[in-house]
Structure 1
Amino acid sequence: MSSPSPVQIREANAHLAAVHRRVAELEQRLEAAENTVREQAESLIRKDEQLSAATQEITEAKDKEMYYLHEKLCKSEETIQRFHNMVKEKDGTIGQLQHRCQLLDNICKCRPLLDSMLSHIAEAERLGPMVRIGEPTANTSLTDGESNCSPNRVSNHKDFSLSEDDMDDQELDEIRFGTTV
């Protein structure tokens, strides 16, 4: 083997120096690329942590909101149930009051008859104690035990009158029982 010429050595040294420069340049670029990758990885890790924290906060806020809405729903359902019970109670009260109103209406329809009966009772009280037969009396309007309250006297009594409502009721009673007058 022959030894290389000085020109070849210089060219080889120049080539070797160029390779070293190129390697140094590539190592710097590699280091810069590694730094960039490392920074991006750290940035991704930070963003991942931030997103995880934000997701956790959103999940907790959602859970709190769901709990709040569930509590509100339960209270609303309790209120609705209370209102349903109150409506049932009020309906029962209304039914009772309607029945009492009907009773009062019926009483009012019977008032003229009751007034007439009360006037007859008052007249009977004014007459005083009953006198025995054969004894003279101050008032002899009732003869032979006949009273104003006998069925024949009441229906035929010319002073006895019914209100229009009572007359309508009497007609209805006659129709109901199949009697005609």
Structure 2
Amino acid sequence: MSAPPALQIREANAHLAALHGRLAELERRLGAAEGTVRGQAESLIRKDAELRAALEDLQAAKDREIAALQERLSSSEETIQKLLNQIQEKDDLILQLKHRSQLLTKICRSRPALDNLLSYMAEGEQLSSFPGSQSSSNSPIHEGLQETDCMANQISNNKDFSLSEDELEEQDLDKTLFGTTV
């Protein structure tokens, strides 16, 4: 084999020197890029750690807030239950009071009839004592009748209740009928 010409050797050497320079430049750039990447990786690792810590803080704050809200919810539910019990007790009391009110209303409506009944009983007692018959004024029956008569007179004389027009007419008719019959 024949030796390559000197010109080819020089060109090859120049080419190798250019390649060697280019390789050195690329290695320098690679080192710089590796440094930049390493710096960026470290920065990302730090940021990742910071973000994880912030995320853990947010998770802990969220857990505390959830616990506080659950406690408030439990307290509110207890308060609601107490209020519902109070409402039920008051509703029961209202029903009792309504029933009592209805009873009192019925009693007040019946009072004129009771007054009439007592006055009729008193009048009947007066009619039942026959002339010439002796009734023992000291007997307990006679005393009870006198007491009832007295109460009937007090009630019939008491006008602190109201009567409707129909009841007044009815009462006048009753007095007229019983006053004329013997």
Shorter-chain TM-score range: 0.5 to 0.7
Distance apart, 1:73 and its partner CA: 1.3
SS state at 2:70 partner:
helix
Q: Which residue of 1 aligns with 2:134?
A: 133
Q: Which residue of 2 aligns with 1:178?
A: none
Aligned ranges 1:59-78 → 2 under 5 Å? 59-78=59-78
Give the letter aligned to residue 133 of structure 1: Q
Q: Which residue of 2 aligns with 1:173?
A: none
Q: Which residue of 1 aligns with 2:100?
A: 100
Q: Which residue of 1 aligns with 2:175?
A: none
Q: Which residue of 2 aligns with 1:51?
A: 51
Distance apart, 1:95 and its partner CA: 1.1
Counterparts of 2:135 and 2:62 in 1: how far apart (Å)? 106
Counterparts of 2:135 and 2:92 in 1: how far apart (Å)? 62
Q: Percent identity?
A: 52
Change (3 A) 1:165 1:57: farther
Counterparts of 1:71 and 1:6 in 2: how far apart (Å)? 94
The normalised TM-score by structure 1 is 0.58
Of the structure 1 ranges 10-19 and 57-66, higher mean CA displacement relative to structure 2 is found in: 10-19
SS state at 1:133 partner:
coil
Counterparts of 1:56 and 1:17 in 2: how far apart (Å)? 57
Q: Which residue of 1 aligns with 2:19?
A: 19
In structure 2, the gaps of 5 or more residues are 126-132, 137-144, 153-161, 171-182
Q: Which residue of 2 aligns with 1:87?
A: 87
Counterparts of 2:82 and 2:102 in 1: how far apart (Å)? 30
Aligned CA-pair RMSD: 4.3
Q: Which residue of 1 aligns with 2:142?
A: none
SS state at 1:108 partner:
helix
Residues 143-179 of structure 1: CA deviation (Å, up to 9, x unaligned): xxx99x89xxx9xxxxxxx944995xx9xxxxxxxxx
The normalised TM-score by structure 2 is 0.57
Residues 30-59 of structure 1: CA deviation (Å, up to 9, x unaligned): 101101211121122122112212221221
Q: Tell me the number of residue pairs that the alignment of Structure 1 and Structure 2 aligns.
A: 140
Counterparts of 2:135 and 2:73 in 1: how far apart (Å)? 90
